[in-house]
Structure 1
Amino acid sequence: MCEEIRVQLLGQMVRIKQGREAGQYAIIIGVIDDQFVLLADGEKRKTNRPKKKNLHHVEMVDYISPEVQNSLLETGRVTNGKLRFAITTFKVQVVTDLKKGDLHDGER
């Protein structure tokens, strides 16, 4: 996987499609290879024990947390509090808008 794509994935919000945590949101905090990423949410899945997940088992959400991405690129790590804040902000801004009648893909 080229470095540019790897950097673009850091801080990417995803919705888990399969497994015990299906339906929950998490953030990509690391990229292993073309197929696997490391996910954390700062609550149940902390940064010190991220979940290794197949990219086919997650749904990419059109939202990248700039705070998380900048922290990962500058220091190589991110705090659990920052992850919780980013997920909460995403849920308030995007998920509540979706519940008002908009579908995720822009159709009505």
Structure 2
Amino acid sequence: MLSKNLNVGQLVEAMCGRDQGKLFFIVKVVDEEYVLIVDGKSRKLNKPKLKKIKHLNVSNFVNEKVKNKLSNGEEITDSYIRTEINKLK
């Protein structure tokens, strides 16, 4: 129920845990309660963080470049993720 408005490439902010206050991109919607998130620094693409949606502050912004690369299976790097997040700060 919670994940109906979530998309790959959507910007979120962690509200709980050691990642509190950090920005992330959603790389996969697992189910109605969980998503996988990355920031390219502490949470890299090869080991994304499984996070409950209720512990995230979900923004309306979806980065189309990140979304398209992840959806099409194109090569994407952690430095690219970091750069896109830094553009938004």
Alignment TM-score, normalising by the size of structure 1: 0.73
- Per the alignment, residue 72 of structure 2 pairs with 74
Q: Percent identity?
A: 32
Distance 1:76 1:57, change over 3 A: farther
SS of residue paired to 2:31: coil
Counterpart in 1 of 2:59? 61
Distance 1:69 1:81 in 2: 16
Distance 2:11 2:75 in 1: 16
Query: Cα offset for 1:81?
Result: 1.7
CA deviation string 1:30-86 (max 9, x = no partner): 111011000100011100010000000000112111111000111166321221111
Aligned-partner Cα distance in 2 for 1:18–1:42: 19
Structure with the bigger percentage of strand:
2
Specify whether residues 62 and 81 from structure 1 end up closer, same or farther in structure 2 by C-alpha distance, changes over 3 A only.
Answer: same
- Runs of 4+ in structure 1 displaced over 6 angstroms? none
Matches within 5 A, 1:1-108: 5=4, 9-75=7-73, 78-91=76-89
- The separation in 2 between residues aligned to 1:30 and 1:80, in whole angstroms, is 16
Gaps of at least 5 residues in structure 2 are: none
- CA RMSD between the two structures: 1.8
SS in 1 for 2:35: strand
Higher relative contact order (CA 8 A, sep 6+): 2
